[in-house]
Structure formats: structure tokens, C-alpha cells
Amino acid sequence: MEVDKGVYQSRTAAEQTSLGDILQRYAEEVTPSKKGAKEETIRLAALRKMRIGKFALANLTPAVVASFRDERLKAVSAGTVIRDLAVLSSILNHARREWGFPVANVVESIRKPRQPQGRERLLSDEEERALLDAVAPIGRRSPWVQPIIVFALETAMRRGELLALRWEHVNLDKRTALLPDTKNGSRRVVPLSSRAVDTLRGMPRSIDGRVFPISAPALHLRFKLACKRAGITGLHFHDLRHTATTRLADKLTNLAELSAVTGHKSLQMLKRYYHPSAEALAAKLG
């Protein structure tokens, strides 16, 4: 009957193809064109090595995926498991729609871990002074760490955006910095405060054209050491974006203007980064 209707699909391919095979094909054919290709390639390689990667597509049931979820939760955070499941869901949909595999998206049938609450760690004024002192460019300290921290606090730019920023995209007279390719896939022009401009004017310039010629691992290590010297605990570099967004919200009360600066595409995402204190809100109430 299915053959007569033209909808019959042989299960042979789904029985002879493992999830690991599909992950490999996806990594080779689809992932390279994505913005986060490097990170996704690493994630797919890790998933291929896990037990779930050995299952044939035909044997991939909700119970199998649920077991994978529960085992992963013992080793990694709920956020990581949520991202793993999202990747698997996307790949199964792609395998069905683009490659013709008669496979259901069993990921959609299982319960997802609860979304972890967003971080609310902000840098206080006192901590900021201690942190900047700890990265003052003296002796053998890097001349780039203090400026990038100040610039992050003034612009709310992401770490990747900061490290990719080039002098050719900075206009000190107009007080703007162009980000031609952001995480959201769109260009953004970031307005610069007087402090941000002064920071740029006082910096040495690298011959490679980057404003902050430092690698992500080196920045991570130096920031961690600086926090230790300053006696600051529980602070991540990304928390500077939370801090900057909260501070900018005091100056830019229009949410459209605020999101134009920070690059958030939705109010929901913006709310994850804006953490006003109850005391600050009470002061605004009068």
C-alpha cells in the first residue's frame, strides 16, 4: 500500500547506518559552513565516541536517548546536556529531510533537563579597582589585559568580538567600533564611551592589525591569575558582559537602544544579562 502511494521508505539504510555514521557525515558536510564550526566539530567527535553513537538509526528509541541523557547528567552540567540534545535533534531532522533516512526525531519525545539559571555574578566597583590594579601593565605583565577588561566593561562586547576587533574597524573620531560578523550572524556598530576611546588611544598597536592581539586561552589564564591576585572569587570573563549590560541599562533606559549596543536579539536574552539590584530599582521609584 505504501509503495502504491509513493511514500514507502526502506528501513535498510536506517538499520545499516549508525548514529555515529550520521554524526560523521554531518561534521563533514554541514558543520564546516556554520559560524560555530570548531565547537560543533569537537562536540560531534565526542558524541561519536559515546555508547549512543554505536546505535543503528533504526534502533534509536526514546529510551536509548533518555538513558544517554541520564548518563551525561552524571558527568556534565544540565546546560551541556541540553546543547547535546539540541545538536542530536537538529541532526536527526537533517538526516530525515535532506538525506532521506526514515528516522523519527526521538529526541523530541523525551524530557529535557531543566534549563540552568543564568549567572548573575556582577563585578562591583571595589572589585573592578582591585582587578585593574592586578593587571596593570608593569614588569612582564601583558599590555593587553587591562585595556580589554576596561573595554569589555564599557561596551558589553563578547570575548570573541573583542579578540576579533581590528583597528581598521575602529573610528575614534566618531567613537564607534564595527563588528562585521557577530555571534548572531549580523553586523553591529558599537558606540564607544569616552573611557573606551581613551583606553584605545593609550594602547600600543600591534602590527597584525588586531586591537587586542591575545589568544583566548592566554586571556583566560591571565584573567584567572589576575582574579587570584586581586582576591576575587567566582568571576568569569563573561561576567564582565553581564556587568556592562547592567551598567548600560542605567544610561540607556530604552530597551531597543540597549539591545542595539549589546547585540541581543530578544528581550528574553537581554533579561538574562541585565541584573539590576533591588536597591537600585527602589532608588528609581523615589
Q: Which CATH number is 125-285 given?
A: 1.10.443.10
pLDDT at res. 6: 41
Contacts 24+ apart (CB under 8 A), 138-142: 142/214, 142/218, 142/222
- Burial pattern 173-197, b for ≥16 Cβ within 10 A else e, equals eeeebebeebeeeeebebbbbeebb
Average pLDDT rounded to a whole number, residues 126-140: 89
- Tens of pLDDT, residues 225-246: 999 999 999 899 999 998 998 8
pLDDT at res. 134: 92
pLDDT at res. 258: 74
Amino acid at 217: P
pLDDT band at residue 261 using 50, 70 and 90 as cut-offs: confident
State the cell numbers at 211: 586591537
Average pLDDT rounded to a whole number, residues 121-141: 88
Which residues are registered as beta bridge partners of 56?
18
Q: What percent of the chain has pLDDT over 90?
A: 56
Q: What is d(CA 125, CA 49) in angstroms, rounded to the nearest whole number?
A: 46
Average pLDDT rounded to a whole number, residues 36-50: 90
- Tens of pLDDT, residues 176-201: 999 887 666 678 888 899 999 999 99
Helices and strands in the chain, H and E counts: 15, 3
State the cell numbers at 94: 537533517
pLDDT band at residue 131 using 50, 70 and 90 as cut-offs: very high
The correct answer on CATH 1.10.150 for the domain covering 2-109 is: yes
pLDDT at res. 127: 94
Cβ(81)–Cβ(72) below 8 Å: yes
Greater confidence (119 vs 132) lies with 132
Cβ(27)–Cβ(118) below 8 Å: no
Cβ(40)–Cβ(88) below 8 Å: no
- Tens of pLDDT, residues 11-33: 788 888 999 999 999 999 999 98
Average pLDDT, rounded, for the chain: 85
pLDDT at res. 2: 41
pLDDT at res. 46: 93
The kind and range of the H/E element at 134 are helix 125-134
Q: What is d(CA 87, CA 80) in angstroms, rounded to the nearest whole number?
A: 11
Domain ranges of the chain: 2-109, 125-285
Complete DSSP assignment for 189-225: EEE--HHHHHHHHTS---TTSBSS---HHHHHHHHHH
Q: What is d(CA 274, CA 241) in angstroms, rounded to the nearest whole number?
A: 9
Residue with cell 540597549: 258
Q: Is the pLDDT of residue 161 over 70?
A: yes
Average pLDDT rounded to a whole number, residues 39-64: 93
State the cell numbers at 81: 546536556
Active site amino acids: 158, 183, 238, 241, 264, 273
pLDDT band at residue 4 using 50, 70 and 90 as cut-offs: very low
Q: What is d(CA 129, CA 145) in angstroms, rounded to the nearest whole number?
A: 14
pTM > 0.75: yes or no:
no
